Structures are given as C-alpha cells and as structure tokens.
Amino acid sequence: MNKKIPIRVRLILLTIPLVLGLGLLTAALAGLSGSASAAPASQTPMSNDTCLTCHSQPNTSKQLGGETLLLTVEKEMFDLSVHGNQGVACVQCHTDIASFPHPDYSVGSKREMQLALYGATRQACIDCHQEQSANALNGVHQQALEAGNTNAAICADCHDPHYQAPLEEQPRSASLETCARCHSTIYETYTQSIHGAALIDENNPDVPTCVDCHGAHGIQNPRAAEFRNTTPQLCATCHTDAAIMDKYGLSTAVLSTYVADFHGTTVTLFEAIHPDQPTDKPVCTDCHGVHGIRSVDDPQYGIGMKENLQAVCERCHPGASADFPNAWMGHYIPSPDRYPVVYFVDLFYKILIPLVLGGMAGFVISDFTRRLIERRKGGMH
C-alpha cells in the first residue's frame, strides 16, 4: 500500500514498546535489588561493621532459661583470629542472618542455642574445612549427638569460631585443655601419667596428646573392639621408632616380643580376621594402663615391680601364684643373663635343627643320586 502512516501514529506506536520495555526493566532491577538485600553473600557480603553495631557493645547478652549467653564479639580479637585474618564475614557463617530481628531459634537453654547455631552454620564449616568436617561427621562425637546426647562436642566447642588463634601458634598442650573441658577426669589422670607429665612439665615433643592417639575429628569410639584390637599398632607407632625410643633408653622390640608371645599372637591373628570383634586377650593398655600410664619403674604403679604385675595378671588369671608373672619375659629378648633357660633352649634348637635336617638332607641327596646313577646304569643294587 502506498499509504503512509502519519507521524503521530508512528510516535504513539513507538512509545508503547518503549514504555513496556522500561517497565520490565524497572521491575527486573527492582527484583534484583530485592534479592540482593536478602542474600548479600551472593554478591558483596554484608559488612561486619553492620553486625558489630550491636555485637561490639560489651556485655551484650541474651537470657536463655536462666543462663546468660554472651553475644559480644570483640573486634580486635576477631581480627587477630584465623577467620578474621582471612577476612571472613559474619554472614559467611551465619548465612541465615541477614537483618534484624534475627531468626528466632526458639530455644530454651544456652546449649540448645549452640546446637541451633551449629545446625545453621555447619554447612559453612563444611564448605571450607571439607576434610575435617567429613572426618568429624564420622566420629564418635557426631554419633553421640545423633543418638541424642546434647553434650557431645560440636565444632564450636573445640574451636572458638570467633577467636581461634592459628594452630601453629599454639603449644601442643592446647589440645589437652580443649578436651579437658568435657573430659576433665581423664585429663587429670593423664597429667599424672608419664606422657602427660612430660608434656606439661617440659612440653616434650615426643609424647602423645589426646589427638595423637584418638585423632582430632574422626575420633573412633575408644571403647569399641575395633579401637582396642588396633592398640598394639597405635602404640608401636612411637614405641618401635628408634629415633624416639633411643632418647629415653626404651626398647623398640616391644611389639615384636608381644606378638611372639601367646597374647600378642592371638590378638594379631584375631585382628587380621575379625577386626571389629572383641577378644579377651590383653593389648598394651590392659597391662600398662590407658591414660594413667606410668614408667614400668615407677615404685607405686610400675609393672616392672613383680607385685604390681601380679595384680595385673590376676585380673584375668585368678589364682596365679606370685611366680606366675615370670612367665612373661617383660618384652625382653632372652639372653644368658635374662631368662637363660629360654635362651639355652633356643640355642639348643638352633644347633640341633640344622644338624639333624642337614644330616638327613645330606643322606637323602646321596641316596637319591646313587639311585639315579644306578638306574642309568640299569643294574641292580
């Protein structure tokens, strides 16, 4: 058609899409900005200063069922902490807190609050600390928690999330104090032991802390058979290492002598086939003690003393005589001075066996050879 559309109509026609487009754009922008305020972490996280407006006030606290939960976070200490150092924002862990008022966890006690926060922030721990979280979720504390024990340790119970100093700056005994918060009697026992005393008195780098034996995150149930059956290998980690043992004049033959004797033979074979079943044969800790291990020469507790050892033996062998503990060679390798009867029996067989078998072999070979020769010759003997 040759009809020309008048300019007025053209202008009107143009403005409709323009208006529509602008409207859509505005709506879109509004929507975006709306979501941005709801999830600041996806773009720029809400500044810590916003949170600190209230949370830096000293003595900010919350009443929970008669207990007081401190809500103050000291900025200077946080900045020095591992998280503060890395510039972690409050909302990166507290992902569910975007504005005030905060989500109501509806809890009645301080512990419930901590557990509620654990539930809300756990993913944040997992996201950055994958290995440790994975181990911890398999550990005995998590199992206890899932079984309903609310006293079981969660991440924040051991690692203060706001003030945790870098691990490298902490002495080895720091982990002791952490565990002691809940396991105080075991801690007391441990401090009396030869390991604990050395750690606390001298900060001895060779002795094990709680973490060295039990692990930090993937803690096995220490009462379970699986842990007990692997105890000899655990102790052997250090006690067969000459680099450590030589410093203290301790034998590195402790595992081999244990395995060579009845108890260790049984546990070794048992553990290889049924690692998770209990066995009634003793492992290291049954004789030496668990947390309160003393030197074998300790006058009161050391099992180098025959009376002390007899008391240990009698736990499983009621009626054992005072001489009975001598049946255990005390991790010693027999020599003419120590356990000479055993030594000379060994020596006797070391001579007899090659002699007899050598003689037999010699005769057999000569006989066999002769018969071969005779057979080749085809003659009769």
Partner 1 sequence: MAPNKKASVEKTQTTKPAKPKSVKNKPEKIKATTSKRQPVKPQAAQQTTARDYVRFPLARRIEHLIMLVSFTTLGLTGLPQKFPTSDISIFIARLFGSVEILRAVHHAAATVMMFGAGYHILLAGYQLFVERSRLSMLPGFQDAKDALQALMYNLGIKKSRPQMGRYTFEEKVEYWAFVWGAVIMGLTGFMLWNPITTSRILPAEFIPAAKAAHGAEAVLAVLAIVLWHFYGVHLKSFNKSMWTGKLSEQDMLHEHPLELADIKAGLAQRPLDPALKRKRERIYFPIAGVLAAAMLFGIYGFVRGEETSIKTIPPLVGDESVYVPQTPTPLPTSTPIAASSNDPANLTWDGAIAPVIQEKCSMCHGQAAIGGLDMSTYENLLKGGGNGPAFIAGDSANSKLVQLMEKDIHPGKVTPEELARIVDWIDQGAQEK
Which residues 208-247 are close enough to bind partner 1 by CB under 8 A?
A: 222-223
Pairing of strands 67-70, 61-64: antiparallel
Least distance CB 261 / partner 1 (angstroms): 7
What is d(CA 347, CA 344) in angstroms, rounded to the nearest whole number? 5
Least distance CB 262 / partner 1 (angstroms): 7
User: Counting Cβ atoms within 10 Å, is residue 178 exposed (0-12), middle (13-18) or buried (19+)?
Assistant: buried
Question: Among 195, 156, 182, which Cα is nearest to 298's?
Answer: 195
| Binding to partner 1 in span 45-64, by CB under 8 A | 53-54, 57, 59-61, 63
Stretch that binds partner 1, among 19-27, 31-39, 200-208, 280-288 (CB under 8 A): 280-288
How many other β-carbons are positioned within 10 Å of the β-carbon of residue 195? 22
| Binding to partner 1 in span 16-45, by CB under 8 A | none
Residue partners of 162: CB distance under 8 A and separation at least 6: 73, 77, 78, 81, 83
| Binding to partner 1 in span 81-140, by CB under 8 A | 100-102, 110
What is d(CA 126, CA 95) in angstroms, rounded to the nearest whole number? 13
Q: Which of 6, 66, 319, 378 binds partner 1 (CB under 8 A)?
A: 319
Q: Which of 13, 146, 167, 181 binds partner 1 (CB under 8 A)?
A: 181
**For residue 375, how far is the Cα from the chain centroid?**
71
Least distance CB 372 / partner 1 (angstroms): 11
Least distance CB 336 / partner 1 (angstroms): 13
Query: What SS3 state is found at 68?
Result: strand
| Binding to partner 1 in span 244-263, by CB under 8 A | 259, 261-262
Least distance CB 6 / partner 1 (angstroms): 55
Residue partners of 161: CB distance under 8 A and separation at least 6: 83, 93, 121, 155
Q: Which of 22, 335, 364, 375 binds partner 1 (CB under 8 A)?
A: 364
Q: Which of 49, 67, 202, 246 binds partner 1 (CB under 8 A)?
A: 67
| Binding to partner 1 in span 287-306, by CB under 8 A | 289-290
Question: Among 165, 170, 162, which Cα is nearest to 78's?
Answer: 162
Contact between residue 325 and residue 306 where contact means Cβ atoms under 8 Å apart: yes
Residue 66 touches partner 1, criterion: CB under 8 A: no
Q: Which of 41, 45, 69, 240 binds partner 1 (CB under 8 A)?
A: 69
| Binding to partner 1 in span 329-348, by CB under 8 A | 329, 334, 339, 341-342, 345-346
Residue 379 touches partner 1, criterion: CB under 8 A: no
Residue 375 touches partner 1, criterion: CB under 8 A: no
Stretch that binds partner 1, among 40-48, 90-98, 232-240, 368-376 (CB under 8 A): 368-376
Residue 14 touches partner 1, criterion: CB under 8 A: no
Q: Which is nearer to partner 1, 248 or 348 (CB)?
A: 348
Q: Which is nearer to partner 1, 89 or 324 (CB)?
A: 324
What is d(CA 80, CA 314) in angstroms, rounded to the nearest whole number? 56
Question: Among 261, 239, 140, which Cα is nearest to 194's?
Answer: 239
Handedness of CA 180, 186, 187, 188 (dihedral sign): positive
Question: Among 122, 114, 103, which Cα is nearest to 70's?
Answer: 114
